[in-house]
Amino acid sequence: MFMAYDLEKQVAIAAVTQAAQLCEAVRQGLVPAAIEKNDKSPVTIADYGAQAVICRALAAAFPADPVVGEEDTQDLRQPAMAPVLSQVTQQVQGVQPGATDSEVLSWIDHGNGDVARRYWTLDPIDGTKGFLRGDQYAIALALVEDSDLKVGVLGCPFLSFGQGTGLLLVAVRGEGTVIMPLAGGEPQPLQVASADHTAHWRFVESVESGHGNQDQQSAIAQAVGITAPSMRMDSQAKYAAVAAGQAVLYLRLPSPKSPDYREKIWDHAAGVLVVQEAGGKVTDMHGKPLDFGTAARFPNNRGVVVSNGAIHETVLAALKQGQPV
């Protein structure tokens, strides 16, 4: 049977898996002193390295496809950053033996493409603070065609839903979402939580309070009958929690500190498809679909509402009744 986007899916799975291995190799080499000093260099090395590895794979398999990624090499090309570049290249060589500094720079810059009719979008490390804490982070890759998400892959090295630590979530439009160990194993289909079992409903939000309006998010959750305290997670692992039925709601409402903030496409693309194909629903706070066809930031969307689908309209109604945002 012909499976649409099968090659894209396989390339994305392999690339995200390699990037996750690179990130974990860097993270496991962290010394506590680096974290205490708030030293960002380990996450910088992993960020650049993951983008290089994934963009190398995409450029080889789909040379015509632009990649809209988070990182560029402007800082990395500065003479003072030579030691960091050397460490990035060393990590990439673990995946691609013989890689040179110049190749690594060109692979990273392959991720500086623009939104097009067909393009990939990449967040090489979503949740940098989680990475440094030894907590949740994600490698997030998605394919967009004609403004529609077609393939989404989330590599979550610290995620565990009773299946061992380190999970890969994969979604293809029209084919559902599956979950499997990052270390390899049989994919299992994922389904969002049903409308029953309301006593076990949870909602999930960012660890960082600046990433949303946590007071409003708690009020909305209570308004739709969620009484348990929130699960707080870094990264698109929050989308994974909804897709796997661990939570029924993820709210990211504009922070009062930055009311004009526009979300970036790579912070959401892979997670959105993973939830949708598991039976859930994703819109902005006004019920509009997220616009993946225009720019690197959503120009016409405010906030993000992710649910199991069954409670979505109730959440939107509660938002409408609440304070204007």
Active site positions, annotated: 47, 128
CB burial of residue 285 (10 Å; 0-12, 13-18, 19+) = buried
Ramachandran bin of 300, using left for φ above 0, alpha for ψ from -120 to 50, beta for the remaining angles: alpha
Nearest-angstrom CA–CA distance, 286 and 245: 24
Cα within 13 Å of Cα(275), Cβ side? 29
Token pair for 62: 């789909």
Phi, psi of 306 (to 5 degrees): -125, 125
Residue with tokens 């970036």: 264
Q: In this structure, are residues 253 and 303 in contact, taking their beta carbons and an 8 Å threshold?
A: yes
274 in Cβ contact with 189 (< 8 Å): no
Torsion, Cα 54 55 56 59, to 10 degrees, reads 130
